Structure 1
Amino acid sequence: MVRGAGGDFVAAELAKAAGLHDIDVALVERWVIDVLLPQQRREVTTVREEAGSVLAEFLNDNIGNMIAVARHKLPIVPDSQEDYVRRDLAPGHSLRARFEESSGNTYILRSAFETWCRRRHKDYQAALDEMERQGPLLKRHCRTRLGRGLPQFGSTGGPLSTCIVVNATRHESPDGDSGRVPVRQGAEVTG
């Protein structure tokens, strides 16, 4: 099975040989290769989405799959849970992100973000690179328990998950100060 423009050119050559048209197929083929394809490639490479818009779109699509807690540290007294959990999972949803109010950091399940990018035809690595360049991305790889402190995930907080860490409130300023919280590369965040 022939795919792409090559199949069209083969069909055009066969139709010309059968006397169905008199188009110069070789000329059209040269134009596609020399003019059209390079132009399309330039357009594809110049389309760059704002890191904030990709992040906002992902978070909006996954709002039911996200929890919000007051802070990174667990409550000292277990009964003070209602002060700790600001927003719980929507019924029937799976945990994909954890927002910590005190720091503004959001821990996003890396596999969920990768899958989301692939389904929307977005380049995962390019999205991370752009978020890193613009400031929201604090860390590309982090191991944490997204359900830490929530009773439905038990005393352990669920499985240790590989996440990316973002902070949408932090961005690169004109003077080069990112305002980012330093995070050790390769550090494991546990609760």
Structure 2
Amino acid sequence: MERCGWAGGDTLYIAYHDTEWGVPERDGRALWEALVLEGFQAGLSWITVLRKRENFRAAFQGFDPEAIAEWGEDEVARLLRDPGIIRHRGKIEATIGNARAWQEIEAGPGFARYIWDFVDGRPVQNRFASLAEVPADTEMSRKLSKDLKRRGFRFCGPTTVYAFMQAAGLVNDHLVSCPCHARVAGMG
């Protein structure tokens, strides 16, 4: 069996593929972090974000949405000067707004429950044989994207949301030839 080809030969990417990607995440803050990072990835490669993830965690106070929701222009200016992260004003401002939107959902059903309700609480088990079969978005990611936007989220288009769903284990898109497919399927 061979791991999914997108993992390539970079040891950081391989470790991410083998231990994190596709593993069902049920913690609301961790889900929010994953969604934010996918938003920062928009227009870039995931390895760029992955290499900066620890810098992002430091710059964004461990991705604490309660703290980030209180931020304003001073924090935006600080982050725009931080070479350890992706310095994009729109994405930084979206993260602050997304933290506020997260608070609203967390106060209601809870962010984890809200997200997992889109897949009826269980990961979708896809059985793709090749990367060419894996979609960029799905009806489900379009529905979640639309609802997130309705609730005030930004940088969460259907492709970004589908990448988030793959990363957070809402869908199992490891190829059937990948040893992680069966392992992740058993975690549902």
TM-score bracket for this pair, using the shorter chain length = under 0.3
For normalisation by structure 1, the TM-score amounts to 0.24
For normalisation by structure 2, the TM-score amounts to 0.25
Report which of the two has the higher share of helix. 2
Report which of the two has the higher share of strand. 1
Higher relative contact order (CA 8 A, sep 6+): 2
Larger radius of gyration: 1
